[in-house]
Amino acid sequence: MVRDVLADAVSTSPLTNRNILITGATGSFGRAFVQRALEVGARRVVVFSRDELKQSDMRASMPDARLRFMLGSVTEPSRLARAMRGVEFVVHAAAMKQVPACEDNPWEAVATNVLGTQYVAAAAIEAGVERGIFLSTDKAAGPNTLYGATKLAAERVWIQANVYAAGTRTRFVATRYGNVLGSRGSVVPVFRAQRAAGPLTMTDPTMTRFWMALSEAVALVERAFTESRGGEIFIPKVPACDLRTVAEAVAPGVPWDLVGIRPGEKAHETLITIDEARACYDCGTHYVLEPVRSWEWLPPRTEPLVPAGFEYRSDTNPDQLTVARLRELLAGGHAAQEAA
């Protein structure tokens, strides 16, 4: 029975027998996506990133002849053009992600997150790539930091690249989600590192965030490859919780040191704003933001629009995690990371 389920998962994956390139492939998402692509029978996977040490570690932990490792930056168009040759699917995950680093290095943040996204899209069009998926973030919805602003700009650059791809087979879509449990840079590994000696550096226990497992982030990209028509933003229905719940799940009984909200941080996050909701469709397990397709005409979606005044926020999300449920999710994510 288990073997049949695994066989079905492989046979129905859009990644099977495909030539795939992923930028930022040595990050938490990138490694999980590459592992999934290999498991379901991708023909070739190009690992594109600029960190030679991480590539070396990845090569050692994933010895597979289908992997091609290419050092390069998304700010180098000629290197991207070379990496794209023969590629059918592109996943663009490379970005500067740390809010303080973007604030302190604004030109580099814009160059990587905005111009780099333009260069990846342009290289994909020139190479005749079939589908390109961009990984966005809840920070792009109503941004109040430079990082969020660059990701919003990158979303627009990526989606509107369909205008430049008109008349070709290339189409661009995006996924947008919140925090990934246990990924580098999230609060979970910070709390894990602090729980032995304490205290936890708590910004605000009432602060809420969206949470999803790494495997769910990968599955959302697969869904986007399968279901997209071009120009959509796919947003998963995921749970949320406050930082108090995270602390109790990760480090029960450990005292807190309240340090206050850092500059640019929001008390709560938004995945879909009220204004965006006018073009938002409820697709059951996820939402889809439809674009204004100036590049082609397509028939309307058959799924229902969300109600008037809809807004998808972490504090008003009806799916709030309990401590017990969060521990189950964390246990699964930790096991997956150890296996990787």
Active site residues per annotation? 139
131-137 and 171-177 beta bridge pairing: parallel
Q: Output the CA torsion sign for 80, 31, 245, 196.
A: negative
| Structure-block tokens of residue 242 | 């406050």
| Residue 323 backbone dihedrals phi, psi, to 5 degrees | -60, -45
Question: Partners of 90 in the beta sheet?
Answer: 21, 132
Tally Cβ neighbours within 10 Å of residue 284: 7
CA 56 remoteness from chain centre: 23
Give CA–CA dist 92/90, Å, rounded.
6
Q: What secondary structure letter does DSSP report for 112?
A: I
Question: Partners of 287 in the beta sheet?
Answer: 235, 282
